[in-house]
Structure 1
Amino acid sequence: MDLKEIKFMNAGLLFVATLLFVKILSVVLASKGRKRLPPTVKALPLIGGLLRFLKGPIIMIGEEYRKLGSVFTLKVVNKRITFLIGPEVSAHFFKAPEAELSQQEVYQFNVPTFGPGVVFDVDYSVRQEQFRFFTEALRVSKLKSYVDQMIVEAQDYFSKWGESGLVDLKYELEQLIILTASRCLLGREVRDKLFADVSALFHDLDNGMQPISVLFPYLPIPAHRRRDQARKKIAEIFRTIINSRKSEGRYEDDMLQCFIDSKYKDGRGTTDDEITGLLIAALFAGQHTSSITSVWTGAYLLRHREHFSACIEEQKGIMQKCGNGVNHDVLSEMDTLHRCIKEALRLHPPLIMLLRHSHREFTVKNREGVEFDIPRGDILATSPAFANRLPHIFKDPDSYDPSRFATGREEDKAAGAFSYISFGGGRHGCLGEPFAYLQIKAIWSHLLREFDLELVSPFPEIDWNAMVVGVKGKVMVRYTRRRLAVDS
């Protein structure tokens, strides 16, 4: 082979190598530029995703989590719902600013109930100011006065029980919760004079929140018409109460008064309609969740007698230390009872789905290190009901074990932030969490001291058909009155 042939062959090899290099480089660059979308749930075209969702979101999430992992997308008609399950992929869901992930679009179905000009019917800056009103109404100094009212309501309510009897614990606690909520939130006028009327109206308001309301909140169905009529009458009642307080210069220690006195940053005061809407939002946020959690707490304590006994021993110790008087500080010392409530809430969070709307694309990385690009425009969802039972976070996740939250173990913190999300978290964590714990503690500390209790009906089932997932059927309990002895 002469020199000319060698040069020609080298040139050919160089050309081939260059082509190969360009091809490899283009593949690498294309792969970097290509979006890695989450896997999509297999379903029939158009309505298949909706049918899967209506079958039961928790069932669907469980099935797809096992097949597709912690990030997947469900197509519901013309919408994409992308699920982020577990703390490894949900951090941005909880921490992202409103400009990236917002609540307003996905919670519009609340507007007919809460009313115009509040919460999800206003832009983010106004909503943040209104949330500040809630924060001020729930600061510690206010909570202490609310606790005193909770204690009085519990004592008065249970004083009407006999020496022994059989009760539906679910019904009893629902009634007591709305009494305490009425006194602390809605005010003395409602609690003392208008309770029956306002309760009936709130019942119609509550029943106006149907599953179909999420998609079609203004559909002209009977439940929606009753909702709208009730909302109008409630507004009239509170307008009268507000005007009466203002004209008489009368001050009450309740959330209603806090909202009357609240002012926006520009100095403007709250309107009557805004006050009414904020009160309705507060009652909706707290009444169902507290009553449901108080029932689950009781059902588990009465099923697991060792925890029931531990709570009684805690009451004895606190009574020896503080006497029989119960207040905010005393309730705050009830760590054993607190863990029992928290564990019931882990197993049965009333809000099984949390939603956001994505305004910007972002990336998440799962436990295996795989990254997914979440498109702009997706509805994002996470599920406390499913995430709270992940086995890589909670040992024996389906078992009732309050000690998992004890100092030194603290399973809810071992995997990092957002492992326990019964109250949400991050930017939109529940403002009423301290109020809820105090309310349930006030009730159960009284029951533990005053009564022997026995669960006589089967352990309750979950009512998956309710908008706020609660307890299905009655929870029958036999009680016998007694006084807890501190020296026994």
Structure 2
Amino acid sequence: MSFNNATSDPLFNGWQGFDDVYRLIPTSTPALSFLALINIPTVVILLNVLRQLVLPRNPSLPPEVFHWIPFVGSAVGYGTDPINFLTTCQKKHGNVFTFVLLGRKMTVALSSKGNNFIFGGKVANLSAEDAYTHMSTPIFGKDVVFDCPNEKLMEQKRFIKVGLSTENFRAYVGMVEDEVLDYMNRDPKFLSYQAKDAASWGQFDPVTVLAEMTILTATRTLQGNEVRSGMDKTFAALFADLDGGLTPLNFMFANLPLESYRKRDRAQKKLSDFYVNIIKARRSGQTNNDETDMIAALMTQSYRSGTVVPDHEIAHIMIALLMAGQHTSSTTGSWAMLHLAANPDVADTVYQEQIAKFSNPDGSLRSPTYDELRNLPVLDSVIRETLRLHPPIHNIMRKVRADLVVPPSLASPSKDGYYIVPKGYFVLASPVVSQVDPDLWYNASKWEPSRWNDSEGQAQKAFRQYTDENGEKFDYGFGAVGKGTESPYQPFGAGRHRCIGEQFAYLQLGTLVVTMVRSLEMEIASGVPKPSFHTLIPTPKQPRMISYHRRQLDKA
């Protein structure tokens, strides 16, 4: 029987040949588009899975974390909880592995040796500029930080170090204390409590309060009188718009046609002009140039070539200092307040340390000096332990400029030779993974400031490695510093990109903590919250309200 005669057979009653088959296939454009929408992504995902499971892997490359969706890769797992993601992958693949993050190949190097591999790498091989300039330049501005060659950045750090002198620090302690006390005596969050009876308890959000306190103290000290006096609603709005550019979205996609990006760019221009006008007024003698702030320090500096630092570069450095310092100090301060509120016995020990050292004959407490602030072991242990559990930056990246050989001490060689990280990949170090490694730290996930009291314990050993107290100092171009690249404790980074503002951060945080603990008794019923990783610097999740009560000895 031929298909042409099929209609004569009862079994094929109603058969119209291949025309009936064609009628069953959707031929309209919307229908075909719908099928393509379903099938093409499925095929792409299937091919991606087969590539990882079936095709032979290049043995010279580090093992790659399995992912379902190409381009997206492990973005969801990493973005939701990067620490859990990295430690889970570490258990499966070892200290060195690669994962895909929105089209980028990210090779991770964990452990102290991994930190040293990345932070101690040569600029010719590993570039911070290539990794970060797409996000930092629209915020900080041109020709500074990561928008210039590394040699120039090292000179800029040398200029900043001039402003971070011990003489200036001695003046800054009183300024920070004054700002904190003034804030607590005038802000509605604390005034509403003062209106009640003395036995009542108020509440405050540490993230909000510390963010406001740190920007006030930073502008009063490093930024100068003109900036501090200009801290009105307009400045706050510009800062907020510029701050909106420091998100994971901005890191992955530097320029999108979104209003938040346009606000970022407008704010950067206005703040840059604001600083340039201050500098011009000082150069012309219209305002007092005899200041201890960073603007005054930068105005006196010249590059090794003899070129005076241009006004727009000074302005952009000041923006970078304000933005970077604001986030790191305020977030660390928030975590410190939360842990002290959850551990009132530790907070009381911090308070008793002040009573022992700074009591006046009338029972009041005097203000500590900078040198005294540096010699408060209980306070110091609180800050170090907070930085151990909550370092401001949990992961640090570099872009690979030339193929890198992974040392055998970090990852065992493959059967065909050493692992190679190819040019064009990114490498990622995560100091926080080392800082909470249960194989290195007793009760690693618990906040225990007392661990820093043992001079022979792991904490102090790691700190000595970090500061290289007895080791050789290295000058990257901004003064001799300990590299600290092999330490499992690296709260401010290590090597040539170690944070230049580390000592100021300790001063600012120390004065904030001392002043608030001296003024307030605190508690938190909900306990210390988990971190949120939806921002570049992990902040405490809600609920996080701290209850407080004014102490009797609340004034210096």
Q: Which category describes the TM-score, using the shorter chain as reference length? A: 0.7 to 0.9
One-letter code aligned to 1:334:
L
> How do 1:35-46 residues align onto structure 2 when only pairs under 5 Å count?
36-44=60-68, 46=70
State the AA in 2 paired with 1:359: R
- The SS at the match of 1:83 is strand
Change (3 A) 1:321 1:89: farther
Structure 2: any 5+ residue segments left out of the alignment?
1-57, 466-485
Determine if the alignment matches structure 1 residue 310 to structure 2 residue 353. no
CA drift of 1:244 comes to: 1.3
1:20 alignment counterpart: none
1:115-130 alignment runs, 5 A limit: 115-130=141-156
8 A contact 1:103–1:356 mirrored in 2? yes
Q: In the alignment, is residue 184 of structure 1 matched against residue 221 of structure 2? A: yes
Q: CA deviation at 1:368?
A: 7.7
Q: Pick from 288, 310, 313: which aligns with 1:250?
A: 288
Identity among equivalent pairs (%): 31
Residues 264, 176 of structure 1: alpha-carbon distance in 2 compared, 3 angstrom cutoff? same
Aligned to 1:229: 266
Match of 1:193 in 2: 230
Q: Conserved in 1, the CA contact under 8 Å of 2:272 and 2:319?
A: no
Matched, 1:405 2:460: no
Task: Report the equivalent of 2:240.
Answer: 203
Matches within 5 A, 1:328-407: 328-360=370-402, 361-366=404-409, 372-407=419-454
Change (3 A) 1:96 1:447: same
The AA in structure 2 aligned to 1:138 is L
Q: Which runs of 4+ in 1 moved over 4 A?
A: 320-323, 366-371
Please name the residue that 1:147 is paired with: 173
- What does 1:428-439 correspond to in 2, within 5 Å? 428-439=497-508
**Amino acid of the residue matched to residue 464 of structure 1?**
F
Q: Which has the larger radius of gyration?
A: 2
Any idea what SS the aligned residue of 2:487 has?
Answer: coil
TM-score (norm 1): 0.86
Which of 280, 298, 314 is the matching residue for 1:259?
A: 298
**Is 1:298 the counterpart of 2:324 in the alignment?**
no
Q: Which moved more, 1:354-363 or 1:100-109?
A: 354-363
Bigger shift: residues 76-85 or 422-431: 76-85
CA 321–129 in structure 1, closer or farther in 2 if over 3 Å, else same: farther
Cα distance between partner residues in 1 of 2:184 and 2:428: 41
| Residue from 368, 372, 381 that aligns with 1:326 | 368
Q: 2:139 aligns with which of 94, 98, 113?
A: 113
Kindly tell me the number of residue pairs found equivalent between the two proteins.
Answer: 453
Establish whether residue 83 from structure 1 lines up as the match of residue 108 from structure 2: yes
Q: Which residue of 1 aligns with 2:494?
A: 425
Once the 2 structures are TM-superposed, how far is the Cα of residue 297 of structure 1 from its aligned partner?
Answer: 0.7
Report the RMSD for the aligned CA atoms in angstroms: 2.4
For the 8 Å contact 1:35–1:373, the answer to whether it is kept is no
Gap change, CA 1:221 and 1:113, over 3 Å in 2: same
Residue number among 441, 449, 466 corresponding to 2:535 in the alignment = 466
Instruction: Tell me if the contact between 1:235 and 1:273 (Cα under 8 Å) persists in the aligned partners.
Output: yes
Determine the C-alpha separation between the residues in 2 that align with 1:54 and 1:469.
Answer: 11
**Alignment partners' CA distance in 2, 1:305 and 1:148:** 26
1:368–1:214 CA distance, 2 compared to 1 (3 A): closer
Answer yes or no: is the 8 Å Cα contact 2:163–2:292 preserved in 1: no
Moved more, 476-485 or 81-90: 476-485
Deviation track 1:243-300 (CA, whole Å, cap 9, x = no partner) reads 1111116222211222222221122222221111101111122111111111111111
1:157 to 183, 193, 206: 183
Q: Verify the 8 A CA contact 1:103 1:355 in the aligned structure 2.
A: yes
Distance 1:209 1:450, change over 3 A: closer
Tell me the distance in 2 between the aligned counterparts of 1:412 and 1:69. 24
Cα deviation, residue 78, structure 1:
4.6
**Contact persistence 1:96–1:427 (CA under 8 A):** no
